[in-house]
């Protein structure tokens, strides 16, 4: 019976993961750190409403078997590149540091296809820097999940993503850019769960095709 710690639980992938783990008997406790309540009543769920900018108030609470790190934003949501970097990089790295310090053995991180710390594109570079830096932390198992374009039901509408999804779907239909084909939030959540349960020692990178395969495993 595992205890899962989740950040990013109000997002599409994170919310799907919460629902999946609440119905999975292999997990006895789900601890979420959020800025606003999920409004879910379940005996397995433990919710901490926190200020991510005040790690001294929550670091000691990051206790469990697996940290699922699924925070993510857009420039439009964040308002600037600096704010997006704070959400997507700083907050996630701070939580990973706290988890490692508190001896959580396994990290499962949602990254992105094309993540590279030397990329010219800001988003890809930010994700690459986060990947690079969490790999240095003393986890027994680090699992990097690199999905393509996410699609599914969100609380907020993302016009750009919807247009990109339609374009990629059309291109994929004729056999092009399969490595970037869209993937549902439910599929990514299943891959996260399975990576955490397997907890293979060392560093494990999962490309888009491998994420689909991982999600299908029991």
Indicate which CATH number applies to the domain containing 65. 3.40.50.720
- Coil, helix or strand at residue 170: helix
Give, as one character, the DSSP assignment of residue 156: S
pTM, two decimals, is 0.87
Q: Would residue 209 count as lying in a domain? A: yes
What are the angstrom distances between the C-alpha of 71 and each of 112, 156, 171, 187, 203? Answer: 12, 15, 29, 17, 20
Whether the per-residue pLDDT at 167 is higher than 60: the answer is no
Q: Which residue has the tokens 């790295």?
A: 93
Q: What percent of the chain has pLDDT over 70?
A: 86
Q: Which residue from 50, 61, 54 is spatially nearest to 3, judged by alpha carbons? A: 61
Tokens of 97: 């540091």
| Helix, strand and coil percent figures for the chain, each rounded to 5 | 45, 20, 35
| Residue 97 lies in domain | 2-151+184-215
Q: Which residues of 107-131 are buried (b: 16+ CB within 10 A; e: fewer)?
A: bbbbbbbbbeeeeeeebbbbbbbbb
CA 97, chain centre distance (Å) = 16
Given this model, what pLDDT does residue 154 score? 41
Q: How many domains does the chain have?
A: 1
Q: Would residue 177 count as lying in a domain? A: no
Q: What percent of the chain has pLDDT over 90?
A: 77
Given this model, what pLDDT does residue 182 score? 78
What gap in Å lies between CA 158 and CA 205, rounded to an integer? 28
What gap in Å lies between CA 96 and CA 13, rounded to an integer? 18
Q: Would residue 88 count as lying in a domain? A: yes
Q: Would residue 162 count as lying in a domain? A: no
Q: Would residue 112 count as lying in a domain? A: yes
Given this model, what pLDDT does residue 176 score? 46
Phi, psi of 136 (to 5 degrees): -85, -10
Q: Would residue 165 count as lying in a domain? A: no
């Amino acid at each position: 019976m595992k205890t899962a710690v989740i950040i990013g639980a109000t997002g599409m992938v994170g919310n799907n993961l919460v629902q999946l783990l609440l119905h999975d008997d292999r997990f006895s406790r789900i601890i979420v750190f959020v800025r606003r309540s999920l409004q879910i009543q379940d005996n397995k769920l433990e919710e901490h409403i926190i200020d991510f900018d005040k790690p001294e108030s929550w670091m000691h609470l990051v206790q469990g078997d697996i940290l699922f790190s699924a925070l993510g934003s857009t420039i439009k949501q964040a308002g600037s590149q600096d704010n997006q970097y704070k959400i997507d990089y700083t907050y996630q790295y701070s939580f990973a540091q706290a988890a490692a310090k508190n001896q959580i053995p396994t990290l499962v991180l949602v990254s992105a296809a094309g993540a590279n710390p030397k990329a010219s594109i800001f988003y890809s570079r930010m994700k690459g820097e986060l990947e690079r830096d969490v790999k240095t932390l003393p986890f027994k198992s680090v699992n990097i999940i690199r999905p393509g374009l996410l699609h599914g039901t969100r609380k907020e509408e993302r016009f750009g993503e919807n247009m990109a999804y339609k374009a990629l779907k059309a291109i994929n239909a004729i056999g092009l850019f399969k490595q970037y084909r869209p993937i549902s939030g439910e599929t990514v959540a299943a891959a996260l769960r399975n990576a955490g349960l397997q907890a293979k020692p060392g560093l494990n990178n999962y490309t888009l095709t491998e994420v689909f395969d991982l999600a299908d495993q029991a």
